[in-house]
Amino acid sequence: MIEQTPKSFLGFDFSTQRLKAVLIDENYVVRQEADVEFDVDLPEFRTSGGVVRGERGEVTAPPLLWVKALDMVMDRLVLAGVDFSTVEAVSGAAQQHGSVWWTKGSEDKLKNLSSEDFLHIQLASVFAADSPVWMDSSTSADCRALEEAVGGPEELAKVTGSRAYERFTGPQIRKMYRTRPRLYNATERISLVSSFACSLFLGKYAPIDLSDGSGMNLLDIHSMKWCEEALKACGDEDLVNKLGTPVPTASVVGNISKYFVERYGFKSTCKLVAFTGDNCSALAGLRLRSGWVGLSLGTSDTLLLGLQEARAPPAGHILVGPTADAPYMALLCFSNGSLTRQNHRDRLVGPSWDDFNELLRSTVRGNMGYMGIYYDTAEIVPRAVSGRWLWDASGKPLEKVAPQFETRALLETQALARRAHAEDMAFRLDKSSRIVATGGASVNKELLQIFSDVFNTPVYIQEQHANAALLGAAIRAADVWSDHVGLKLSGSELKVSPVATPYSDAENIYTPMMKRYRELVQQVPTLC
């Protein structure tokens, strides 16, 4: 009898605060996981929440931190006993929009890595700058200039799927070109965090994928090519070469590099599937059906919806979809998600979610009319400055309310904001709708109950894993590999189970509150 060799697939998630890895088998069952937390495991980079903040809205991360985290996570997988020779394909997800600036000669270094040494030692001098990341809000002037150059915000949204946003890579590149021309000129390649991470495995520059590439304000999402006018507005004639040609997300981009074969025992035929943005990966991982909403509760909160066609959005973004099932996807990103919830939990009750939830349970749904907007970091949807605003039932602004009312005001108003802005983007919920929740905070049942009531829709969670972006990376590795080699895998359908259903009075409570949210949010100063 011929023994069948087991097959496995490896996924990575280069997220804001940590690097995670997951190994699944051919039945898509999770076999092994490893995780590196940047602030805790790599304190020498002095990050807080994985980033370094400047004085004028600049938020960056040192790319060498991510390289060192990869060395570490690989060692943790080795210690966990992973047999890399069974891995047929690797893929990854990464925080969106961040850019990695490689100096001239970097690709040669990538091609000639010695398997005797750590990556971070060999790549210590390849980065031209710290990487601006998605929390950066320092490029407002560049956004306005880009919009103007292509005929206004609506026109830019029509072509690239989004108006100009501070964190999008095009405005970030424009700022670098304008303020640090020497650095721009010394740059051989600009990667997204996703294509940078893929390059580490590939041993040469990996292409940007179309889905994450549509988070740059530079890609024409209809022709799937770079938009020449947008490129011209953000850099010089060499920018197109610095970016390379984008590829469909469901692409095999090559075999894993010799470094990984020699150092970790991967087989030389192990395929690399294009890495993509975390939200794009989550959509693939959640296998969303039409009418379902993906709700990712991470550092930021994100709503995801698979779309058949691209409609220009008033706010939020249309991206090229990561799979053939969803040619396009809608994305709404609220920058104040878990980190903000956690900050206020710490302030109100200390570091325990149980204590926070106990206080929350001492209040009633609707919170006797108390509402609050908490933006610890400048908000993306709606574009607004950081700050905290509280109101009583009559709409009177308050400086302070009792902590129990704050707990509920924080969560209810967040959920109301998610629904209001989704509706503004023509998201329509119906009887068959579901919210499929994922991300770290999706384990918090109290929070999910609030979302269920506010959306008046049942909330499901993915049974297998709370992190859809990470699991999505491994699933994409398996799906794209199986298409590539023409071998069907017994990969399972998405398994989800309901965790919260709306109470019968949900609509009566939250419809008027939705109206109030729309009025109150007008009082918050917009980011100019």
Let me know: does 284 contact 292? Beta carbons within 8 Å.
no
Kindly tell me which residue out of 206, 219, 288, 333 binds ligand XUL, with binding defined by CB under 6 A: 333
CB closer to ligand XUL, 147 vs 278: 278
CB 494 within 8 A of CB 462: yes
In the complex, minimum distance from the CB of residue 167 to ligand XUL, in angstroms, rounded to a whole number: 6
Element containing residue 281 per DSSP (H, E): helix 278-286
Q: Pick between residue 323 and residue 377 the one whose CB is nearest to ligand XUL.
A: 377
**Binding residues with ligand XUL: total (CB under 6 A):** 15
Q: Rule CB under 6 A: is residue 167 a binding residue for ligand XUL? A: yes
Q: Binding to ligand XUL by residue 418, rule CB under 6 A? A: no
Stretch that binds ligand XUL, among 91-99, 363-371, 386-394, 428-436 (CB under 6 A): 91-99
Interface stretch with ligand XUL, choices 139-147, 203-211, 218-226, 273-281 (CB under 6 A) = 273-281
* Cβ proximity to ligand XUL, 300 vs 457, nearer residue: 300
Report the nearest approach of ligand XUL to the CB of residue 219 (Å).
14
Q: Give the residue, chosen from 302, 363, 407, 467, that forms a contact with ligand XUL under the rule CB under 6 A.
A: 302
151: Cβ–Cβ under 8 A, 6 or more apart, which residues?
none
Distance of alpha carbon 374 from alpha carbon 409, whole angstroms: 9
Phi, psi at residue 166, to the nearest 5°?
Answer: -55, -40
Instruction: Give the tokens for residue 10.
Output: 């490896």
Interface residue with ligand XUL among 47, 86, 195, 300 (CB under 6 A) is 300
Q: Does 15 bind ligand XUL (CB under 6 A)?
A: yes
How many angstroms separate the CA atoms of 363 and 365, rounded? 7
SS (H, E, C) 173-242: HHHHHHHCHHHHHCEEEEEEHHHHHHHHHHCCCCCCEHHHHCCCCCEECCCCEECHHHHHHHCCCCHHHH
Binding segment toward ligand XUL, per CB under 6 A, in 234-242, 272-280, 415-423, 441-449: 272-280
The pairs formed by 358-364 with CB atoms below 8 angstroms and a separation of 24 or more are 359/403, 359/404, 359/407, 360/404, 360/407, 360/408, 360/411, 360/446, 361/446, 362/404, 363/404, 363/405, 363/407, 363/408
Residue (333 or 359) nearer to ligand XUL, CB: 333
Cβ of residue 3: shortest distance to ligand XUL, in angstroms? Answer: 42
Of 97, 175, 287, 465, the one binding ligand XUL (CB under 6 A) is 97
Interface with ligand XUL in residues 128-157 (CB under 6 A):
134
User: How far, in Å, CA of 518 to CA of 528, rounded?
Assistant: 20
CB of 276 to ligand XUL, least distance (A): 11
Residue 389 bridge partners (DSSP): 373
Binding of ligand XUL by 336 (CB under 6 A): no
User: Binding to ligand XUL (CB under 6 A): which residues in 211-230?
Assistant: 215
Summarize as ranges the residues that interact with ligand XUL (CB under 6 A).
15-16, 95-97, 134, 167, 215, 277-279, 300, 302, 331, 333
